[in-house]
Structure 1
């Protein structure tokens, strides 16, 4: 047992009939950190949490929580956890986290500030937080370390900064005025930049190679020459949404 690790999952597997929910998953959560567990719907996040907290037994592999084995020492494992959902409750049904947020609001904090301070205070008091959320911006702001799973397998793990660096540097995002212009605009971007182009309705996003000598003005001029009207464009650094798309949605 590594004393610095609060949770260790080693080659964990779980099946439901013929469906493989979690496949050969290994994770390590350091003591005192905020650990984000992310993935698309059906990726296996809930199954992982249920196995961590002994609500489900894994079919194979080993799970240690604060040194206690989830199968042979399930009672001791349950004593290590406080498990709360993110849904709203009322009165006595409020979770510990929601109570912290309410008192933060009563003390003049904004909703976002109260939420963030509540989680940070748990860690400052010595807790280890495993955060599962569908809000990637929330994970980006709060998590010290993130594991991204898809189809029950680990596809990426690291700090938010390190994960975003895997996508690349700056990205160009532009919106064309007509849906008929999407395909020709995509072809031009791919030909000029040699990069895969992501498309969402009339918005196209493409990584910009920092070593490339192709300026954005030249790209816009080429699109204009092809009679493609660009209604909006911007450059931005990659986000966790970009990582999520590249490693999960973009591969499916």
Structure 2
């Protein structure tokens, strides 16, 4: 593999009538990374994904997949990736083995090659014991694993996972996460869309947040968390008579702006070393506290900060 980007998107735009679904978006995806696309419903991420995978033609802008322009070299670009959607694209009336054989042949493999690849994928996705069962008897997790296996028949360098764990139970979600991590270890590049922010936090190396068709922020999960504020500190002041004293101290000594409700104090720390300093100041002033909670910023905070209230 060369050092070129897995995906290069420049000034991508798509309109539906008077509605601008995707508005001048540009970003790159590096080889070997998990790149997350996040955004509320209707934000434009699905339209963006459909254009990248050549299912929808852009109005303007360019998309390159490992150097292949999707508008000019669509066949070459499509040969580089596999796509797994939210719902299984396999036939429920036949077995997992038969599905894999059929899709292998459709992808141009010979009968012998199809048989070999089918056995490899059944083993890789722990489906050997269920290989000859009809899909109607499969659990949700087994269906998702088979759908992912189908998308990997040709060993694509780039894999699009569109909400791969939707509807799965927690145990099966964790199994799917491990499968995705293994794909990355084997050299795959992954584009991930998900409605689960913890999933993006766990898996993505970088995340692009899209809202109203625009790219509003891009960075690592940690970089995105840092942009919405510092550590949250919550506690209860045991002596109601000292509430005002606590509020004044936090304002004057630390330049913090606490939210005080009855005897409950909520605040966001500006600096990493402020937590210890605030606790020491409370102790020095003989202020007794309880129900102390320290929370680091989450992707939920990022999502709410960047998208909510703009609709």
Q: Distance in 2 between matches of 1:204 and 1:59?
A: 51
Unpaired runs of 5+ residues, structure 2, are: 104-117, 129-140, 143-170, 237-246, 283-289
Give the equivalent residue in structure 1 for 2:61.
61
Match of 2:18 in 1: 18
SS, match of residue 119 in structure 1: helix
Where does structure 1 lack aligned partners over 5 or more consecutive residues?
A: 176-187, 198-202, 220-230
- Residues paired across the two proteins, number: 219
Structure-2-length-normalised TM-score = 0.60
How big is the alpha-carbon RMSD for the aligned residues of Structure 1 and Structure 2?
Answer: 3.8
Instruction: For 1:204 and 1:46, locate their aligned partners in 2 and report how far apart those are by CA, in whole Å.
Output: 41
SS in 2 for 1:51: helix
Distance change (3 Å), C-alpha of 1:98 and 1:174 = farther
C-alpha contact (below 8 Å) 1:171/1:238 kept by paired residues: yes
- Between the aligned partners of 1:42 and 1:205, the Cα distance in structure 2 is 33
Query: Shift of the alpha carbon at 1:251?
Result: 4.2
| SS of alignment partner, residue 61 of structure 1 | strand
Deviation per CA, 1:163-195: give whole Å up to 9, x if none: 1111222113589xxxxxxxxxxxx8xx95437
Which residue of structure 1 lines up, in the alignment, with residue 303 of structure 2?
244
Partner of 2:9: 9
CA–CA distance in structure 1, aligned partners of residues 291 and 86 of structure 2: 36
1:181-196 residue pairs with structure 2 within 5 A? 193-194=256-257
Q: What is the distance in 1 between the residues matched to 2:46 and 2:180?
A: 20
Give the secondary structure class of the aligned counterpart of 1:172.
Answer: strand
Larger Rg: 2
1:72 counterpart residue number:
72
Distance 1:174 1:81, change over 3 A: farther
Distance 2:296 2:228 in 1: 10
Shift in alpha-carbon separation, 1:160–1:139, aligned structure 2, 3 A: same
Structure 1 segments of 4+ aligned residues over 6 angstroms from their partners: 93-99, 211-214, 216-219
Q: Specify the alignment match of 2:202 in structure 1.
A: 141
Deviation at 1:127, TM superposition (A): 1.5
